[in-house]
């Protein structure tokens, strides 16, 4: 899928988590629901760090472009080192390492550790990065172009500062789910966002090797997906006219349920 659909699906997924928690009798504080949805929307773009033309490669200028180049080479090296004879040869790392459950769990755990050990500035940095990605994904038409980069960064920095200020208030969510451990939960929307990205790509023509390194049909990088007649091309009318509106409606319903409105 393309960036806007990935981000929208990420936000929808976290609102769904909030609705489930509310139904189970453990509703999220609204700042956790809001910040988690935005983090998840940003994290749903992050697996495309292995793809230089992707939205994430443009989000932070030369820094993100260099990071995408590095991750692409790393992913390709891991692919070559772990492929079986049944896995096809390829020339790049797109849709390999960063599109697996292993990457999602590791990157989420890493951000949780950073949030817990790094203090307030680490939390602000994590929120800032994912806010930039969320804005780039959800408001992609308005955010495109180098002239808007500074505005996006300012909006993301302001939003991150405000949200952390609210979350730090007693009972507002900094210790949600893990009492006594501030912001340990922060890695959860990042894991969810990465996995939702992978599931979205599994709906497209190429499929996605989500279960690596578990071998399937003698392939360690088996591209899981729906039956081929049900798959679609990234950016096709199915994605734009069907899935994105469905995500919007579902997200609204989930948000209402998560906040116990009504």
| pLDDT, tens digit, 9 for 90 and up, residues 160-173 | 999 999 999 988 99
Q: In this structure, is the dihedral angle defined by the CA atoms of residues 213, 216, 222 and 227, taken in order, positive or negative?
A: negative
In the numeric block, which tokens belong to residue 141?
């038409």
**Residue 140 pLDDT exceeds 70:** no
Tell me what percent of the residues of the chain surpass a pLDDT of 90: 67
**Residue 142 pLDDT exceeds 70:** no
Backbone angles phi, psi at 219, to 5 degrees: -115, 130
pLDDT band for position 227 (cuts 50, 70, 90): confident
Mean pLDDT in the chain? 90
pLDDT at residue 185, as a whole number: 96
* Global confidence as pTM: 0.92
pLDDT at residue 159, as a whole number: 93
Q: Which of 47, 42, 35 is nearest to 174 (CA)?
A: 35
pLDDT at residue 73, as a whole number: 94
pLDDT at residue 262, as a whole number: 44
Higher pLDDT: 19 or 229? It is 19
What is the CB neighbour count within 10 angstroms for residue 88? 8
- CA 54 to CA 49: how far, in whole Å? 8
Ordered DSSP codes for 14-36: HHHHHHHHHHTT-PPPHHHHHHH
Average pLDDT rounded to a whole number, residues 216-242: 86
Average pLDDT rounded to a whole number, residues 214-233: 89
pLDDT band for position 141 (cuts 50, 70, 90): low
Distance from first CA to last CA of the chain, Å, rounded?
34
Average pLDDT rounded to a whole number, residues 71-83: 95
């Amino acid at each position: 899928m393309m960036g806007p659909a990935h981000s929208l699906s990420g936000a929808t997924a976290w609102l769904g988590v909030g609705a489930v928690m509310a139904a189970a009798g453990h509703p999220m504080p609204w700042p956790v629901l809001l910040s988690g949805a935005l983090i998840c929307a940003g994290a749903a773009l992050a697996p495309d760090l292995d793809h230089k033309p992707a939205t994430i490669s443009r989000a932070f200028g030369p820094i993100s472009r260099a990071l995408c180049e590095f991750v692409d080479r790393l992913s390709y090296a891991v692919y070559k080192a772990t492929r079986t004879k049944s896995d096809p040869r390829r020339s790049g790392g797109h849709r390999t390492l960063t599109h697996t459950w292993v990457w999602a769990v590791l990157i989420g755990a890493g951000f949780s550790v950073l949030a817990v050990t790094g203090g307030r500035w680490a939390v602000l940095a994590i929120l800032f990065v994912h806010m930039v990605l969320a804005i780039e994904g959800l408001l992609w038409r308005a955010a495109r172009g180098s002239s808007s980069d500074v505005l996006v960064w300012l909006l993301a920095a302001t939003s991150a500062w405000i949200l952390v200020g609210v979350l730090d208030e007693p009972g507002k969510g900094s210790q949600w789910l893990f009492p006594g451990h501030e912001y340990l939960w922060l890695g959860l929307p990042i894991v969810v966002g990465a996995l939702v990205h992978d599931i979205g790509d599994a709906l497209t023509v190429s499929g996605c090797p989500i279960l690596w390194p578990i071998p399937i049909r003698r392939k360690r990088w088996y591209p899981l997906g729906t039956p081929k007649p049900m798959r679609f091309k990234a950016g096709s009318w199915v994605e734009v006219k069907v899935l994105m509106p469905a995500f919007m409606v579902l997200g609204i319903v989930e948000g209402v349920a998560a906040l116990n409105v009504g």
